[in-house]
Structure 1
């Protein structure tokens, strides 16, 4: 049978999809069959809804404190109670099963959002609903509401399906970045398992990209992060029957204040850079990453990754101009780029 993510938008629905798939892959019996990304929601084909509900309930019960610890960095202290309540709701098998049955029909989110009831969503879960975007998209500045089931799966999905990191910008302000990968197309259970495995290496990826957080635009940061996933993963994603999007959200938080201030939201189709990176030979890939590490000029990084993204020779010329200023690594990096 099929269940559908609620339809709150590509970012929250991607996290909800990851929460469902993670539990399905942990179930005692085979549950997950296939996932279809349909733009702003996902269709998830499963064998046994009861077994899926049991797995979600069990995993949330075991991980509740770890979930709240990670989510706590991106939410206000007064929001913890409603997040905990939503997790407790899904940790009850019967409630979880009933909610999954509601997702067997499309459009669950229709009764929520700015016109619906429920709990107000933290801005880290629905960044498009924050005040930062009200002028850009011409919608009223009203709280975005979620039911307990959606909020619980989002909280669980934030834990299982994001890479998050932070950096001190000044003595009183901190930058936070949240990153996830969405897709449109078809993925089988083994491919989903591989993608979910990326988030289990969050600590190592976090260390590798930390120095770039306040150095390059969010668009370039997404491309850098994609390249840090590793050549095997990059090649697997490039060969999948799916189109990929990197989603990055940037926040700032002032010390002593609970509220997060959103500073950017970027949704980037990353198929071109996956294709470019997948053509780099195995030995050259590690060299490429090491050499890029030595590029501390943000302009050089921007031109380099835009060249990989667009394969435009003018961009390669501009990138080379900056790269060659970073001798002795310039010639080797240019050699790798010339093979693309």
Structure 2
């Protein structure tokens, strides 16, 4: 137990808390900048079992913020490189990795026998899919997002409101670290906060991080925090789905122009651009599935269709799934 001696000295941890951590299973979705510090701190704290999902490979442009990787990892699957570095730090860790993306049709199987989910995907489609599943299964979710010099981290579900309750609508733009830029230290600080929140939830510390949001704005050197325990779940949530879950009777609309997506999302789909939706022949009594790259265009079109009386609407973020 010498590895965890300094942590066990804390009265709020102790031998019992350390044994509790050794029995836990944490699912980490995404092996990027947020996961880099979070994984190291969770593995260092003595989490017994971690499952890590990520479909990507290490790129040189990742290294300024994804500090788990080195130049020698460029081109390798992120999960494989992360596994090697984490096991080198703590050989006692049971680490299962899968080079795959989390999707609406696979999320439930990944949550089997999991005690807590850490969302490091920094992708709103994946975050909403995770939040919906964690709300159904009463699993705690620690979700975070960073862009530029700003970010947040919060604890959701398992008795607290879901991510949807706090963020019922998508942002105005689909900017990402790749398109909008990001400062590495901000990502590191938010990822470390994710690990701390996760440990506090697993150790049943009070006050609970579930129902708490922490915000960081390093552009203005400000920090903030508030509770959202009373936030209501949206009455008509727009769900993200995947091609494997499309019903045979659904009206599938691919909103992407041909130059962006030469192939339709499925053979069942029709290509209708957002500006053409108002004049399209659609049946309000049949399910509708709207597809675009990030989900943002589909979300806006879905809100317009809801205002017109369409009730059964789902969204596919094709870029996120690919």
TM-score by length of 1: 0.26
TM-score by length of 2: 0.27
Higher helix proportion (structure 1 or 2): 1
